[in-house]
Amino acid sequence: MGQIHSLLDRFGVEEMRRLASLEDKTQRLCVEAAHEVMSDEDQAIGIAHAGFAMAALPHKKISESIWRREGGSIQLLVESGLDKENKAVGVPFGAMARLILLYLQTQAVRTRSREVELGSSMNAWLKAMGVSVGGKTYIAVRDQANRISRCRLTFTRTNAGAEIITNGAFVRDAIMPIESENGNQLSFWKEAVRLDEGFYESLIEHPLPLREIAIRQISNKSKAIDIYIWLAYRLHVLNDPLTLSWNTLKNQFGPEYKELRYFKKDIVTPLKIALSVYPEAKVQMDDKYGIILYPSPPPIPEKRIGR
């Protein structure tokens, strides 16, 4: 995938668009995403909790009220909250839930405060996350905000024979939007939310810097978001190349798949898209064996993080 970035440098975006139009849709998406990231001059930083690199939310709606995902020494347990009628509202899922949480985490780390300003309308919030405004978007945000507001979570990390457990929630105060009087826009209970203290403290201790422009390019692709976060976490700490089999990747990103062939079919495209927005990543894909990770610079240079 690194070839896309070198070819863009060599031939320019117009020629790469022409060549990509002769291939498949994924190639065209990768060219456009790579071009946007390489053209970004602001280099704005987004933040995710490092734990999400190893254990993430579900991609699709699930019927169960508890979601458990393990990755390496990390286990994430998310429990659905209850509404005022004591009915489970469901576990957060999909790209929208990830974008909401990324926005909250980024703002909290930037300001070093649990208080995160949301703005006076839904439009302001969506614009800050790079999401287009529309009726379906309102519905999706309202649903995921409700799920995030009410759920409980537990991060468990194994270290030197001991379990380090962080219990809590994502937010202390509700961020569930409500309809305004004109019926067209949505407003919030409050113009600011307060992150749960345990989640905030863990976030400050384990922040993972990301390229905001990269997240925006893959904002509607939850699997690509997860892979990008995972690569940003893994690659820059490697000292030597690391080979991961397709089975290992399945355990990380798709333990729900019954057959490996179906997982491989579904994961290749989001992997390519995630790599297209991470120009520094050095990753080799082998259809038979899996992928090879090579030591690579982080998406955000350390000197940039320091500033």
Going residue by residue through the chain, which has 307 residues, state the pLDDT in tens, using 9 for 90 and above. Answer: 557 888 888 888 888 888 777 668 888 899 999 999 999 988 899 999 998 998 899 999 999 999 999 877 888 899 999 998 999 999 999 999 999 999 999 999 999 999 988 765 566 777 777 787 677 787 888 889 889 989 999 888 888 788 888 888 999 887 666 665 555 555 555 678 899 998 999 899 999 999 999 999 999 999 999 999 999 999 999 999 999 999 999 998 998 899 999 999 999 999 999 999 999 999 999 888 899 999 999 999 876 655 5
Same domain, 189 and 101: yes
Beta-bridge partner residues of 291: 244, 285
Q: Which amino acid belongs to residue 219?
A: S
Q: Which domain holds residue 272?
A: 221-298
**Rounded Cα gap, residues 29 and 300, in angstroms:** 22
Alpha-carbon span 145 to 163, nearest angstrom: 30
Q: For residues 112 and 105, is the Cβ–Cβ distance under 8 A?
A: no
pLDDT per position as a tens digit, 183-213: 555 555 567 889 999 899 989 999 999 999 9
> How far from each other are the two terminal CA atoms of the chain, in whole angstroms?
30
Question: What CA dihedral angle connects 46, 54, 149 and 138, to 10 degrees?
Answer: 60
- For residues 101 and 164, membership in a common domain is answered with yes
Total-model pTM: 0.90
Q: How far apart are CA 208 and CA 228, in angstroms?
A: 11
Split into its structural domains, the chain has a count of 3
Report the alpha-carbon distance of residue 21 to residue 149 in Å, rounded. Answer: 43
Does residue 213 sit within a domain? no
112 and 202 belong to one structural domain: yes
Tell me, yes or no, whether 116 and 226 share the same domain. no
Same domain, 177 and 225: no
Residue 83 lies in a domain: yes
Mean pLDDT of the chain: 87
Q: Does 225 lie in the same domain as 202? A: no
H/E stretch holding 152 reads strand 152-159
Per the document, the length of the chain is 307
